[in-house]
Amino acid sequence: MKFYFSVLMVITLGSTVVLGQNLNPAPDSPRMKRIETMRNKFIKNRLNLSPEQEKAFWPIYSKYDARKRQIRQQSRKLRRRRDLLTASDEQLIQKLRSQMKLKQQEVDLEKEYLDKFLKVINPRQVTELYRAEEEFIRRLIRQLRKQRQRRNNGGG
């Protein structure tokens, strides 16, 4: 359970870093669709799914991913800096409580989908799924930093 929570936190923090870099302008933007396609290919290669597993896995994963994005989008709205600067203490307390509820929703989502994933892929593949998501985020962040460096150095 400790490992599971650690993986959840890494994925959450990694996604927050990625999303904080204006990577997610709109869920249906061409850039996000391209990233999602790259991520899905990366996961597919790492999980080594049988054709039967693929057929069952991807619809579940798509629903999981959509719900996770929705929770994170709500969380980002709560953390807007300009709102924090003008909010009263009561509003800040309410925002903090709402943020905790969203974190709990994300943990509940992870628990729910762990059970769903285990019905179609084995525990080793589920573990690899979480590792693949984490690795993809790290690689994506690294790539974005390189692009930003090149742009800042006049390289494009």
CB 8 within 8 A of CB 111: no
Contacts of 32 (CB under 8 A, 6+ apart): 23, 24, 25, 26
* CB-count burial class (<10 Å; 0-12, 13-18, 19+) for 136: buried
pLDDT band at 23 (very low <50, low <70, confident <90, very high): very low
Q: What is the dihedral of CA 61, 102, 71, 13, to 10 degrees?
A: -80
- The domain containing residue 22 runs over which residues? 2-152
Number of folded domains that form the chain: 1
- State the average pLDDT for the chain: 85
Q: How far apart are alpha carbons 83 and 51 in whole angstroms?
A: 48
For the whole model, what pTM was predicted? Answer: 0.74
